[in-house]
Amino acid sequence: MTASDPTKLGFVHRFEAGTASHRPPLLLLHGTGGDESDLLPLGRAVAPGAALLSLRGPELENGMPRFFRRLAEGVFDEDSVRRRAADLAAFIGQARTAYGLPAPVALGFSNGANIAAAVLLLHPGVLAGAVLLRPMMPLADPPAVALDGLPILMLSGAQDPIVPEANARALAEVFRRAGARVEHTILPAGHGLSQGDVTAAEAWIAGLAK
């Protein structure tokens, strides 16, 4: 079953009900210029049968949807990050009630990974885990939080021209200091997604169901 409601819960989104109750639902968060349909094929590939909740970013940059504003490439408007992370956390709670879902695992790419990271740091307890594809630090001074045992997979690209490896490693360390169970892999890839991302995410998500 596929459902779409552009206004009811505050974010344009699509929902696909799950057929595999042992899999956690996935919250799909696209990169710059994507929409609520972009990551549905990836979600189906890495978590067959999982419920999928796929959003469209509410900010526009030259007509391209994003989840928060930025001042330049790699330079984020942190007021926007905080405000939109709060909006997303509220949406997740409303969507769980509307669709009868447990806490979802975020699957975010680029800008979507960054807003997922911000939710993890600013609203702990909202997400059951996260797959962060090409993430970077969303806040210059992240708060100290408790993410005891929360599973997080980070997949970075060794040739990524947008996300410095040191930045991604620093984010992984922030999560580890918070007590999260972090797996951070550097793939032989650029900023775009590769088959390696699909394979790694599928295996990791399958491990959550065990």
- The answer for residues whose C-beta is within 8 angstroms of residue 65's C-beta and 6 or more apart is 30, 32, 33, 34, 35, 56, 57, 58, 59
- Catalytic-labelled residue, pool 54, 156, 160, 184: 160
Tell me, what's the pLDDT at 21? 86
Tell me, what's the pLDDT at 3? 46
- Catalytic-labelled residue, pool 30, 38, 110, 156: 110
- Catalytic-labelled residue, pool 35, 80, 191, 194: 191
Question: With b meaning 16 or more CB within 10 Å and e meaning fewer, what string describes 80-106?
Answer: bbeebbebbbebbeebbeebebeebbb
Q: What is the pLDDT along the chain (210 residues), one digit of tens a residue?
A: 344 444 467 899 999 999 998 899 999 999 999 999 999 999 999 999 999 999 999 999 999 999 999 998 888 999 999 999 999 999 999 999 999 999 999 999 999 999 999 999 999 999 999 999 999 999 999 999 999 999 999 999 999 999 999 999 999 999 999 999 999 999 999 999 999 999 999 999 999 976
Tell me, what's the pLDDT at 209? 73
| 110 is a catalytic site residue | yes
Tell me, what's the pLDDT at 10? 85
Q: Which tokens go with 72?
A: 């330049």
CB-CB contact of 94 with 72 (8 Å): no
| 22 is a catalytic site residue | no
User: How far from the centroid of its chain's Cα atoms is residue 80's Cα?
Assistant: 17
Question: With b meaning 16 or more CB within 10 Å and e meaning fewer, what string describes 48-75?
Answer: eebbbbbbbbbbeeeeebbbbbbeeeee
**CB atoms < 10 A from the CB of 36, how many?**
22
CB-CB contact of 187 with 208 (8 Å): no
Q: What's the pTM?
A: 0.95
Q: Which tokens go with 120?
A: 């993890």
Side-chain half-sphere CA neighbours of 74 within 13 A: 10
**Cα gap 94→61, rounded to integer Å:** 27
| 156 is a catalytic site residue | no
Q: What is the CATH number of the domain that holds 19?
A: 3.40.50.1820
Q: What is the DSSP string of 163-197?
A: S-HHHHHHHHHHHHHTT-EEEEEEES--SS--HHH
* The total number of structural domains that make up the chain: 1
Domain of residue 173: give its range. 2-208
